[in-house]
Amino acid sequence: MADTQQIQSWLNGDFLRSRRLRAQYPLIGLIVGLFFIYILTGYQSVRQQHKLTDTKKEMMDAKFRYMTISAELMNTTRQSQVTEALRAQGSALQENTVPPVKIERPATTYILKGK
C-alpha cells in the first residue's frame, strides 16, 4: 500500500511542494536558463556558418566575374584587336613602324654654396 501511495504522490506532484525542493528552485531556474542560452548559441552559430558559406559563394562568383571581364578587356585592348576595330570603323590611323627613341639628357652637376 505504501508503494501505491508514493507513486500516487509523485503523480500528483506532491514532491514539487516539499521544502527541500523549494529551496532548490533558484538553482533549477539557473540551470534551465543556462540550458536555453546554450541551445540559442548553438542555433546562432549554425546560422552564422550558413551566412559565412553564402558569403564565400558570393565572393567566388564575384572573383570569376572579375576574371572574365578582365580577360575580355585584355583581349579587346590588344594592339591587333585595336587596329582591326579601327579598320572596321574606316579610320585613317596607322600603326607606327618607327621604334621609339630614348631621349637622354646630359648629366648636370649641382654645386651647393655654403654660407
**Where are the chain's structural domains?**
2-87
pLDDT, position 1: 62
pLDDT, position 32: 97
pLDDT, position 114: 67
Cell 576595330 sits at which residue?
A: 85
For the chain (115 residues), the mean pLDDT of every run of 10, in chain order, is 76 76 89 97 97 97 97 89 87 84 82 69
CB contact at 8 A, 81 and 75: yes
Cell 531556474 sits at which residue?
A: 29
Would you list the DSSP string of 3-44?
Answer: HHHHHHHHHHTGGGGSHHHHHTHHHHHHHHHHHHHHHHHHHH
Sign (positive or negative) of CA dihedral 73, 74, 77, 80? negative
CA distance 71 to 65: 10
pLDDT, position 111: 74
pLDDT, position 31: 97
